[in-house]
Amino acid sequence: MDKLKVMTVFGTRPEAIKMAPLVKELEDRPEFESYCCVTAQHRQMLDTVLNIFRIRPQFDLDIMEKSQTLSTITSKCLLGLEEVFRQVRPDLVLVHGDTSTTFAGALAAFYQQIAVGHVEAGLRTWDKYSPFPEEMNRSMVGRLADLHFCPTSANRRNLEAEGISKGLFVTGNTVIDALQTTVVDWFTFDEEVLNCLDYEKKKVILVTCHRRENYGRPMEDIMSALAYIARVHPEAELVYPVHLSPVVQECAHRHLDGIENVHLIAPLDVEEMHNLMARSYLVMTDSGGLQEEAPALGKPVLVLRKETERPEAVEAGTVKLAGVDYGRIVELADRLLDDPAAYQKMAHAVNPYGDGNACGRIADGILYHFGRTDRPPEAFQS
Ligand code: UD1
Ligand code: UDP
Protein backbone atom coordinates (compact mmCIF):
# COMPACT_ATOMS: atom_id res chain seq x y z
CA MET A 1 0.00 0.00 0.00
CA ASP A 2 1.24 3.52 -0.79
CA LYS A 3 2.54 5.60 2.07
CA LEU A 4 0.33 8.47 3.25
CA LYS A 5 1.80 11.82 2.29
CA VAL A 6 1.41 14.07 5.32
CA MET A 7 2.64 17.66 5.32
CA THR A 8 3.04 19.59 8.58
CA VAL A 9 2.76 23.37 8.23
CA PHE A 10 3.81 25.82 10.96
CA GLY A 11 5.46 29.19 11.37
CA THR A 12 5.73 30.51 14.92
CA ARG A 13 7.68 29.43 18.00
CA PRO A 14 4.82 27.74 19.88
CA GLU A 15 3.59 25.86 16.81
CA ALA A 16 7.13 24.61 16.16
CA ILE A 17 7.60 23.42 19.75
CA LYS A 18 4.28 21.59 19.70
CA MET A 19 4.64 20.17 16.16
CA ALA A 20 8.29 19.06 16.55
CA PRO A 21 7.53 15.77 18.34
CA LEU A 22 4.80 15.05 15.78
CA VAL A 23 7.19 15.63 12.86
CA LYS A 24 9.53 13.11 14.53
CA GLU A 25 6.71 10.61 15.06
CA LEU A 26 5.65 10.83 11.39
CA GLU A 27 9.25 10.47 10.22
CA ASP A 28 9.70 7.36 12.37
CA ARG A 29 6.57 5.55 11.20
CA PRO A 30 6.88 3.52 7.98
CA GLU A 31 3.25 4.24 7.00
CA PHE A 32 3.97 7.92 6.35
CA GLU A 33 5.91 10.00 3.85
CA SER A 34 6.49 13.09 5.96
CA TYR A 35 6.97 16.60 4.57
CA CYS A 36 7.49 19.77 6.58
CA CYS A 37 6.80 23.32 5.39
CA VAL A 38 7.54 26.35 7.55
CA THR A 39 6.11 29.75 6.74
CA ALA A 40 8.65 31.44 9.05
CA GLN A 41 6.01 33.85 10.36
CA HIS A 42 8.66 33.97 13.09
CA ARG A 43 12.25 33.81 11.88
CA GLN A 44 14.75 33.70 14.76
CA MET A 45 12.28 32.29 17.30
CA LEU A 46 11.34 29.51 14.86
CA ASP A 47 14.89 28.66 13.84
CA THR A 48 16.05 28.02 17.41
CA VAL A 49 13.29 25.42 17.79
CA LEU A 50 14.13 23.77 14.45
CA ASN A 51 17.78 23.53 15.54
CA ILE A 52 17.04 22.05 18.96
CA PHE A 53 14.75 19.36 17.54
CA ARG A 54 16.95 18.88 14.42
CA ILE A 55 14.14 19.48 11.95
CA ARG A 56 15.12 20.35 8.37
CA PRO A 57 11.96 21.55 6.57
CA GLN A 58 11.77 20.78 2.85
CA PHE A 59 10.00 24.13 2.28
CA ASP A 60 10.60 27.51 3.92
CA LEU A 61 8.44 30.47 2.81
CA ASP A 62 10.53 32.95 4.85
CA ILE A 63 7.67 35.47 5.09
CA MET A 64 8.51 37.42 8.29
CA GLU A 65 8.68 41.22 8.17
CA LYS A 66 9.35 43.67 10.99
CA SER A 67 6.01 44.86 12.46
CA GLN A 68 4.05 42.61 10.11
CA THR A 69 0.27 42.94 9.94
CA LEU A 70 -2.30 40.18 10.07
CA SER A 71 -3.13 40.74 6.40
CA THR A 72 0.45 40.52 5.18
CA ILE A 73 1.11 37.32 7.13
CA THR A 74 -2.09 35.69 5.89
CA SER A 75 -1.73 36.69 2.24
CA LYS A 76 1.96 35.77 2.00
CA CYS A 77 1.26 32.36 3.60
CA LEU A 78 -1.69 31.69 1.29
CA LEU A 79 0.26 32.47 -1.87
CA GLY A 80 3.37 30.55 -0.79
CA LEU A 81 1.45 27.50 0.37
CA GLU A 82 -0.55 27.32 -2.85
CA GLU A 83 2.68 26.60 -4.73
CA VAL A 84 3.96 24.10 -2.19
CA PHE A 85 0.72 22.12 -2.07
CA ARG A 86 0.53 22.07 -5.87
CA GLN A 87 4.02 20.62 -6.01
CA VAL A 88 3.67 17.94 -3.30
CA ARG A 89 -0.06 17.08 -3.44
CA PRO A 90 -0.17 15.74 0.15
CA ASP A 91 -2.99 13.45 1.31
CA LEU A 92 -3.25 15.48 4.50
CA VAL A 93 -2.06 18.87 5.73
CA LEU A 94 -1.56 19.22 9.49
CA VAL A 95 -1.79 22.67 11.07
CA HIS A 96 -1.50 23.60 14.72
CA GLY A 97 -3.42 25.86 17.06
CA ASP A 98 -4.58 29.36 16.22
CA THR A 99 -2.03 31.59 14.52
CA SER A 100 -2.30 33.34 11.15
CA THR A 101 -0.11 30.58 9.68
CA THR A 102 -2.61 28.02 11.01
CA PHE A 103 -5.59 29.67 9.40
CA ALA A 104 -3.83 30.34 6.10
CA GLY A 105 -2.52 26.75 6.04
CA ALA A 106 -5.99 25.28 6.49
CA LEU A 107 -7.53 27.65 3.94
CA ALA A 108 -4.83 27.00 1.32
CA ALA A 109 -5.31 23.23 1.73
CA PHE A 110 -9.09 23.60 1.46
CA TYR A 111 -8.73 25.59 -1.79
CA GLN A 112 -7.00 22.55 -3.31
CA GLN A 113 -9.42 20.09 -1.67
CA ILE A 114 -6.68 18.55 0.45
CA ALA A 115 -7.78 17.06 3.80
CA VAL A 116 -6.90 19.17 6.85
CA GLY A 117 -5.94 17.88 10.31
CA HIS A 118 -6.10 20.38 13.17
CA VAL A 119 -3.73 19.72 16.06
CA GLU A 120 -4.73 21.42 19.34
CA ALA A 121 -8.34 21.67 18.21
CA GLY A 122 -11.36 22.84 20.15
CA LEU A 123 -9.94 25.51 22.48
CA ARG A 124 -12.45 28.33 22.87
CA THR A 125 -13.16 31.44 24.90
CA TRP A 126 -16.30 32.18 22.84
CA ASP A 127 -15.15 35.80 22.66
CA LYS A 128 -14.44 36.81 19.06
CA TYR A 129 -11.88 39.46 20.04
CA SER A 130 -10.10 37.68 22.87
CA PRO A 131 -7.60 36.27 22.26
CA PHE A 132 -7.32 38.31 19.08
CA PRO A 133 -7.12 37.09 16.36
CA GLU A 134 -6.57 33.56 17.69
CA GLU A 135 -10.16 32.78 18.76
CA MET A 136 -11.45 33.42 15.25
CA ASN A 137 -8.48 31.66 13.61
CA ARG A 138 -9.09 28.44 15.50
CA SER A 139 -12.88 28.61 15.03
CA MET A 140 -12.46 28.99 11.27
CA VAL A 141 -9.94 26.15 11.16
CA GLY A 142 -12.50 24.04 13.03
CA ARG A 143 -14.89 24.54 10.10
CA LEU A 144 -12.21 23.76 7.50
CA ALA A 145 -10.71 20.69 9.16
CA ASP A 146 -11.58 17.03 8.55
CA LEU A 147 -9.64 15.72 11.54
CA HIS A 148 -9.67 17.40 14.94
CA PHE A 149 -7.01 16.40 17.47
CA CYS A 150 -8.36 17.77 20.76
CA PRO A 151 -5.99 17.93 23.75
CA THR A 152 -8.79 17.33 26.30
CA SER A 153 -12.34 16.01 26.41
CA ALA A 154 -13.56 19.55 27.23
CA ASN A 155 -12.05 20.70 23.91
CA ARG A 156 -13.93 17.90 22.16
CA ARG A 157 -17.19 19.01 23.79
CA ASN A 158 -16.59 22.56 22.52
CA LEU A 159 -16.45 21.28 18.95
CA GLU A 160 -19.51 19.08 19.45
CA ALA A 161 -21.37 22.16 20.70
CA GLU A 162 -20.57 23.75 17.31
CA GLY A 163 -22.09 20.77 15.49
CA ILE A 164 -18.78 19.12 14.58
CA SER A 165 -19.25 15.39 15.11
CA LYS A 166 -16.83 13.56 12.79
CA GLY A 167 -13.07 13.03 12.90
CA LEU A 168 -12.72 13.93 16.58
CA PHE A 169 -9.90 12.45 18.71
CA VAL A 170 -8.89 13.31 22.28
CA THR A 171 -5.12 13.00 22.29
CA GLY A 172 -3.57 15.16 25.01
CA ASN A 173 -1.42 18.14 24.07
CA THR A 174 1.80 17.49 22.15
CA VAL A 175 3.55 20.10 24.32
CA ILE A 176 3.68 17.52 27.11
CA ASP A 177 5.41 15.11 24.69
CA ALA A 178 7.97 17.87 24.02
CA LEU A 179 8.39 18.71 27.72
CA GLN A 180 9.37 15.13 28.51
CA THR A 181 12.44 15.43 26.28
CA THR A 182 13.79 18.77 27.51
CA VAL A 183 13.85 18.96 31.34
CA VAL A 184 16.92 17.49 33.03
CA ASP A 185 18.41 17.91 36.55
CA TRP A 186 21.94 18.83 35.43
CA PHE A 187 21.08 21.58 32.95
CA THR A 188 23.59 24.41 32.34
CA PHE A 189 22.22 27.57 30.73
CA ASP A 190 23.79 29.39 27.79
CA GLU A 191 22.28 32.59 29.23
CA GLU A 192 24.88 33.26 31.94
CA VAL A 193 22.60 35.26 34.26
CA LEU A 194 20.49 32.12 34.71
CA ASN A 195 23.48 30.15 36.01
CA CYS A 196 24.14 32.88 38.59
CA LEU A 197 20.67 32.99 40.16
CA ASP A 198 20.27 31.36 43.58
CA TYR A 199 17.19 29.20 42.98
CA GLU A 200 17.14 27.99 46.62
CA LYS A 201 17.35 31.34 48.46
CA LYS A 202 15.60 33.59 45.92
CA LYS A 203 12.06 33.34 44.59
CA VAL A 204 12.52 33.30 40.84
CA ILE A 205 9.48 34.58 38.96
CA LEU A 206 9.40 33.67 35.30
CA VAL A 207 7.52 36.26 33.24
CA THR A 208 6.36 36.33 29.63
CA CYS A 209 3.90 38.70 27.97
CA HIS A 210 3.27 39.23 24.27
CA ARG A 211 -0.39 38.97 23.27
CA ARG A 212 -1.88 41.39 20.75
CA GLU A 213 -5.06 41.96 22.82
CA ASN A 214 -2.81 43.14 25.68
CA TYR A 215 -1.12 45.84 23.53
CA GLY A 216 -1.77 49.33 24.94
CA ARG A 217 -3.30 49.93 28.37
CA PRO A 218 -3.35 46.28 29.56
CA MET A 219 0.34 45.82 28.79
CA GLU A 220 1.21 49.16 30.43
CA ASP A 221 -0.60 48.03 33.62
CA ILE A 222 1.01 44.59 33.56
CA MET A 223 4.51 46.08 33.25
CA SER A 224 3.81 48.64 36.04
CA ALA A 225 2.61 45.82 38.28
CA LEU A 226 5.76 43.79 37.56
CA ALA A 227 7.94 46.81 38.40
CA TYR A 228 6.11 47.29 41.71
CA ILE A 229 6.33 43.60 42.63
CA ALA A 230 10.10 43.58 41.98
CA ARG A 231 10.65 46.74 44.06
CA VAL A 232 8.71 45.58 47.15
CA HIS A 233 10.01 41.99 47.05
CA PRO A 234 13.82 42.03 47.14
CA GLU A 235 13.67 38.28 47.80
CA ALA A 236 12.26 37.83 44.28
CA GLU A 237 14.19 37.76 41.00
CA LEU A 238 12.05 38.43 37.93
CA VAL A 239 13.33 36.80 34.77
CA TYR A 240 11.61 37.99 31.62
CA PRO A 241 12.72 36.69 28.21
CA VAL A 242 11.23 39.44 26.08
CA HIS A 243 9.41 38.51 22.86
CA LEU A 244 11.00 40.10 19.74
CA SER A 245 7.87 42.03 18.79
CA PRO A 246 8.88 45.74 18.66
CA VAL A 247 5.72 46.69 20.60
CA VAL A 248 6.57 44.35 23.46
CA GLN A 249 10.27 45.24 23.48
CA GLU A 250 9.54 48.96 23.81
CA CYS A 251 6.98 48.57 26.59
CA ALA A 252 9.01 46.08 28.67
CA HIS A 253 12.23 48.09 28.52
CA ARG A 254 10.51 51.40 29.29
CA HIS A 255 8.94 50.04 32.50
CA LEU A 256 11.52 47.55 33.72
CA ASP A 257 15.02 48.68 32.69
CA GLY A 258 17.28 49.55 35.62
CA ILE A 259 15.44 47.57 38.34
CA GLU A 260 18.10 45.48 40.06
CA ASN A 261 16.12 42.26 40.50
CA VAL A 262 14.52 42.31 37.04
CA HIS A 263 16.38 40.50 34.26
CA LEU A 264 15.19 41.35 30.77
CA ILE A 265 16.83 38.81 28.51
CA ALA A 266 16.54 37.63 24.90
CA PRO A 267 13.98 34.91 24.08
CA LEU A 268 15.26 31.60 25.41
CA ASP A 269 15.55 28.46 23.39
CA VAL A 270 13.00 25.87 24.41
CA GLU A 271 15.37 23.70 26.47
CA GLU A 272 16.51 26.74 28.45
CA MET A 273 12.91 27.85 28.91
CA HIS A 274 11.64 24.50 30.19
CA ASN A 275 14.59 24.08 32.54
CA LEU A 276 14.23 27.63 33.87
CA MET A 277 10.54 26.97 34.47
CA ALA A 278 11.38 23.77 36.33
CA ARG A 279 13.61 25.82 38.70
CA SER A 280 11.27 28.80 39.14
CA TYR A 281 9.05 29.64 42.10
CA LEU A 282 6.18 31.19 40.16
CA VAL A 283 5.16 31.87 36.55
CA MET A 284 3.37 35.07 35.46
CA THR A 285 2.35 34.95 31.81
CA ASP A 286 -0.16 35.65 29.07
CA SER A 287 1.23 32.76 26.99
CA GLY A 288 -0.89 29.76 26.09
CA GLY A 289 1.96 27.27 26.10
CA LEU A 290 3.29 28.26 29.53
CA GLN A 291 -0.17 27.70 31.03
CA GLU A 292 0.10 24.08 29.91
CA GLU A 293 3.73 23.44 30.78
CA ALA A 294 3.97 25.01 34.26
CA PRO A 295 1.22 22.85 35.87
CA ALA A 296 3.01 19.70 34.68
CA LEU A 297 6.12 20.98 36.49
CA GLY A 298 4.20 21.86 39.68
CA LYS A 299 4.63 25.64 39.26
CA PRO A 300 1.80 28.04 40.17
CA VAL A 301 0.75 30.33 37.31
CA LEU A 302 -0.84 33.78 37.35
CA VAL A 303 -2.41 34.34 33.93
CA LEU A 304 -2.11 37.95 32.74
CA ARG A 305 -5.27 37.89 30.64
CA LYS A 306 -8.99 38.48 31.10
CA GLU A 307 -9.96 34.95 30.10
CA THR A 308 -8.42 31.60 29.31
CA GLU A 309 -9.27 28.86 26.85
CA ARG A 310 -7.39 26.48 29.13
CA PRO A 311 -9.70 26.09 32.17
CA GLU A 312 -8.46 22.61 33.11
CA ALA A 313 -5.53 23.77 35.26
CA VAL A 314 -7.63 26.56 36.79
CA GLU A 315 -10.07 23.86 37.91
CA ALA A 316 -7.14 21.77 39.20
CA GLY A 317 -6.07 24.77 41.33
CA THR A 318 -2.56 25.44 39.96
CA VAL A 319 -3.48 28.35 37.67
CA LYS A 320 -5.25 31.61 38.63
CA LEU A 321 -6.68 34.10 36.20
CA ALA A 322 -5.12 37.36 37.40
CA GLY A 323 -6.53 39.55 34.63
CA VAL A 324 -4.82 42.73 33.40
CA ASP A 325 -5.71 45.05 36.28
CA TYR A 326 -2.69 46.49 38.15
CA GLY A 327 -4.19 46.10 41.66
CA ARG A 328 -5.36 42.53 41.19
CA ILE A 329 -2.03 41.35 39.70
CA VAL A 330 -0.11 42.91 42.60
CA GLU A 331 -2.50 41.45 45.19
CA LEU A 332 -2.25 37.89 43.83
CA ALA A 333 1.53 38.02 43.44
CA ASP A 334 1.95 39.45 46.97
CA ARG A 335 -0.09 36.60 48.40
CA LEU A 336 1.94 33.92 46.63
CA LEU A 337 5.21 35.55 47.75
CA ASP A 338 4.18 36.23 51.37
CA ASP A 339 1.85 33.38 52.35
CA PRO A 340 3.42 29.90 52.26
CA ALA A 341 0.05 28.20 52.71
CA ALA A 342 -1.46 30.01 49.73
CA TYR A 343 1.64 29.08 47.70
CA GLN A 344 1.59 25.41 48.69
CA LYS A 345 -2.08 25.17 47.76
CA MET A 346 -1.18 25.98 44.15
CA ALA A 347 2.21 24.29 43.86
CA HIS A 348 1.37 20.72 43.00
CA ALA A 349 2.05 18.95 39.72
CA VAL A 350 -1.01 18.13 37.64
CA ASN A 351 -1.25 16.83 34.09
CA PRO A 352 -4.64 17.80 32.72
CA TYR A 353 -3.15 18.55 29.28
CA GLY A 354 -1.40 15.33 28.38
CA ASP A 355 0.53 12.19 29.27
CA GLY A 356 3.34 12.46 26.73
CA ASN A 357 1.66 10.16 24.17
CA ALA A 358 -0.28 12.71 22.11
CA CYS A 359 1.79 12.30 18.93
CA GLY A 360 1.31 8.53 18.89
CA ARG A 361 -2.45 9.01 19.19
CA ILE A 362 -2.46 11.60 16.40
CA ALA A 363 -0.53 9.29 14.05
CA ASP A 364 -2.92 6.43 14.90
CA GLY A 365 -5.92 8.73 14.37
CA ILE A 366 -4.65 9.62 10.88
CA LEU A 367 -4.22 5.94 9.98
CA TYR A 368 -7.74 5.22 11.24
CA HIS A 369 -9.21 8.11 9.25
CA PHE A 370 -7.58 6.89 6.03
CA GLY A 371 -8.77 3.29 6.61
CA ARG A 372 -5.27 1.93 7.28
CA THR A 373 -6.34 0.45 10.62
CA ASP A 374 -9.69 -0.62 12.09
CA ARG A 375 -8.99 0.64 15.57
CA PRO A 376 -9.14 4.30 16.63
CA PRO A 377 -6.61 5.38 19.27
CA GLU A 378 -7.76 5.27 22.89
CA ALA A 379 -8.71 8.73 24.13
CA PHE A 380 -6.41 10.57 26.53
CA GLN A 381 -8.04 10.69 29.99
CA SER A 382 -6.98 13.56 32.24
C1 UD1 B 1 2.20 35.26 16.94
C2 UD1 B 1 0.79 34.67 16.91
C3 UD1 B 1 0.30 34.40 18.33
C4 UD1 B 1 1.30 33.59 19.12
C5 UD1 B 1 2.68 34.22 19.05
C6 UD1 B 1 3.68 33.32 19.72
C7 UD1 B 1 -0.67 35.46 15.09
C8 UD1 B 1 -1.62 36.49 14.64
N9 UD1 B 1 -0.13 35.63 16.31
O10 UD1 B 1 2.10 36.54 17.56
O11 UD1 B 1 -0.93 33.68 18.25
O12 UD1 B 1 0.89 33.53 20.46
O13 UD1 B 1 3.05 34.39 17.67
O14 UD1 B 1 4.84 33.97 20.05
O15 UD1 B 1 -0.40 34.54 14.36
N16 UD1 B 1 9.63 38.97 15.54
C17 UD1 B 1 10.97 38.90 15.22
N18 UD1 B 1 11.57 37.67 15.20
C19 UD1 B 1 10.90 36.52 15.49
C20 UD1 B 1 9.53 36.62 15.83
C21 UD1 B 1 8.91 37.84 15.83
O22 UD1 B 1 11.61 39.90 14.97
O23 UD1 B 1 11.50 35.45 15.47
C24 UD1 B 1 8.97 40.31 15.54
C25 UD1 B 1 8.74 40.85 14.13
O26 UD1 B 1 8.95 42.22 14.13
C27 UD1 B 1 7.26 40.55 13.89
C28 UD1 B 1 6.70 40.75 15.28
O29 UD1 B 1 7.68 40.20 16.16
O30 UD1 B 1 6.69 41.40 12.91
C31 UD1 B 1 5.36 40.13 15.55
O32 UD1 B 1 5.30 38.78 15.12
P33 UD1 B 1 3.86 38.13 14.75
O34 UD1 B 1 4.06 36.70 14.37
O35 UD1 B 1 3.17 39.00 13.78
O36 UD1 B 1 3.05 38.27 16.09
P37 UD1 B 1 3.26 37.62 17.52
O38 UD1 B 1 2.88 38.64 18.52
O39 UD1 B 1 4.59 36.98 17.59
N1 UDP C 1 9.11 29.77 25.01
C2 UDP C 1 10.47 29.65 24.75
N3 UDP C 1 11.28 30.73 24.99
C4 UDP C 1 10.80 31.92 25.44
C5 UDP C 1 9.41 32.03 25.68
C6 UDP C 1 8.59 30.94 25.44
O7 UDP C 1 10.95 28.59 24.34
O8 UDP C 1 11.59 32.83 25.63
C9 UDP C 1 8.25 28.60 24.76
C10 UDP C 1 7.34 28.19 25.90
O11 UDP C 1 8.00 27.30 26.78
C12 UDP C 1 6.18 27.55 25.17
C13 UDP C 1 6.07 28.37 23.91
O14 UDP C 1 7.35 28.97 23.71
O15 UDP C 1 6.47 26.21 24.81
C16 UDP C 1 5.01 29.41 24.07
O17 UDP C 1 5.15 30.35 23.07
P18 UDP C 1 4.55 31.80 23.15
O19 UDP C 1 4.40 32.21 24.56
O20 UDP C 1 5.38 32.64 22.25
O21 UDP C 1 3.14 31.62 22.44
P22 UDP C 1 1.70 31.14 22.92
O23 UDP C 1 1.84 29.82 23.60
O24 UDP C 1 1.13 32.20 23.80
O25 UDP C 1 0.93 31.05 21.64
- What pLDDT digit, counting tens, does each position of 96-121 carry? 999 999 999 999 999 999 999 999 99
Which positions ≥6 away from 364 have C-beta within 8 Å?
Answer: 373, 375, 376, 377
Which ligand has its closest atom nearest to the C-alpha of 63? Answer: 1
**Cβ atoms 375, 197 nearer than 8 A:** no
- State the pTM of this model: 0.98
21 pocket-lining for ligand 2 (C-beta < 6 Å): no
267 CA closest ligand 2 atom index: 8
Residue spans per domain, the chain: 4-173+354-369, 192-347
Which positions ≥6 away from 175 have C-beta within 8 Å?
Answer: 17, 18, 289, 292, 293, 353, 354
Please report which confidence band the pLDDT of residue 382 belongs to, taking 50, 70 and 90 as the band edges: confident
Q: Is 211 a catalytic residue?
A: no
Which ligand has its closest atom nearest to the C-alpha of 305? Answer: 2
The CATH T-level fold of domain 192-347 is Rossmann fold (3.40.50)
Peptide bond into 131 cis (omega under 30): yes
233 pocket-lining for ligand 1 (C-beta < 6 Å): no
373 CA from centroid of ligand 2 (Å): 35
**Cβ atoms 340, 203 nearer than 8 A:** no
Radius of gyration of the chain (CA): 20
**Cβ atoms 122, 159 nearer than 8 A:** yes
Of all protein residues, whose CA lies closest to atom 3 belonging to ligand 1?
99
Judge: domain 4-173+354-369, CATH 3.40.50.2000: yes
The values of phi and psi at residue 267, to 5°, are: -50, 140
Q: What is the pLDDT of residue 11?
A: 98
65 CA closest ligand 1 atom index: 30
Q: Which residue blocks in 257-353 are alpha helix, DSSP H?
A: 270-279, 288-296, 312-316, 326-338, 340-346
Q: What is the pLDDT of residue 137?
A: 98
CA angle 131, 292, 223 (to 5 degrees): 55
Q: Is 243 a catalytic residue?
A: yes
Same CATH fold assignment for domains 4-173+354-369 and 192-347: yes
Please report which confidence band the pLDDT of residue 1 belongs to, taking 50, 70 and 90 as the band edges: confident
Instruction: Tell me the per-residue pLDDT of 280-306, one tens digit each, with 9 for 90 and over.
Output: 999 999 999 999 999 999 999 999 999
Q: Best of 182, 280, 287 to mutate for ligand 2, by most ligand atoms within 8 A of CB? A: 287
292 CA from centroid of ligand 1 (Å): 20
Mean pLDDT of 156-167: 98
Higher-confidence position of 55 and 181 = 55
